């Protein structure tokens, strides 16, 4: 697919949270008012995450000519988070038809080397599930996390050693 402009729901989170704009109205606005080619769906902006709703979002996006590019789900590389959250994100991304799950690491913890090792283990299982669903993980650095920048994410990806984990470089860094 050739996406020139994808709009992220995180830019509209205040409107979505306040109810001024529904999630499906946002999808429609991306196509009709913003002339976008794709959408990035932030997990926290979903009113519900069941597979029936995901199918509805995918259908509306398809009908409007939008490509669901990514599911933005920060913190899924935090080893303290349950594996079920990572599995649910893969299932949701698959139902939406997204090519990517964009995520970050969690906090460094009291012993960052131990947290790093646990995060690598969690990421290996996560990438295995993502591979089975044909979804790539795009990992971004985040302030106050175990992986704060591109160099940290590049190093992390060497330990995970999976073609299904890539680093997400912010546009201003590229």
Q: pLDDT tens, position by position, for the chain (174 residues)? A: 566 789 999 999 999 999 999 999 999 999 999 999 999 999 999 999 999 999 999 999 999 999 999 999 999 999 999 999 999 999 999 999 999 999 999 999 999 999 999 999 999 999 999 999 999 999 999 999 999 999 999 999 999 999 999 988 655 444
Predicted local confidence at residue 174, as pLDDT: 40
Confidence (pTM) = 0.92
What strands lie across the sheet with 6-8, from one edge to the other? 6-8, 38-42, 67-72, 100-103, 136-139, 165-167
CA angle 96/162/171 to nearest 5° reads 65
Residue with tokens 């008012």: 33
Contact in structure between 16 and 33 (CB atoms under 8 Å): no
Partnered with residue 71 across adjacent β-strands are 41, 101
The answer to whether the Cα torsion of 25, 31, 36, 42 is positive or negative is positive
Predicted local confidence at residue 168, as pLDDT: 83
Burial 91-104 (b: 16+ CB within 10 A, else e): bbbbbbbbbbbbbb
Predicted local confidence at residue 5, as pLDDT: 84
């Amino acid at each position: 697919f050739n996406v020139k402009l994808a709009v992220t729901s995180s830019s509209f989170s205040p409107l979505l949270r306040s109810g001024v704009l529904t999630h499906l109205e946002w999808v429609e606005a991306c196509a009709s008012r913003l002339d976008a080619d794709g959408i990035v769906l932030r997990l926290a902006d979903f009113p519900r995450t069941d597979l029936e709703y995901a199918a509805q979002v995918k259908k509306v996006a398809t009908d409007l000519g939008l490509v669901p590019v990514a599911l933005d789900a920060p913190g899924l590389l935090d080893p303290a988070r349950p594996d079920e959250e990572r599995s649910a994100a893969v299932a949701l991304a698959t139902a939406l038809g997204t090519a990517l799950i964009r995520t970050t690491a969690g906090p460094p913890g009291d012993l960052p080397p131990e947290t790093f090792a646990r995060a690598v283990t969690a990421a290996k299982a996560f990438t295995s599930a993502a591979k089975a669903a044909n979804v790539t993980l795009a990992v971004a650095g985040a302030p106050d996390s175990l992986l704060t920048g591109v160099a940290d994410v590049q190093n992390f990806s060497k330990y995970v050693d999976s073609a299904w984990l890539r680093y997400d470089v912010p546009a201003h860094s590229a």
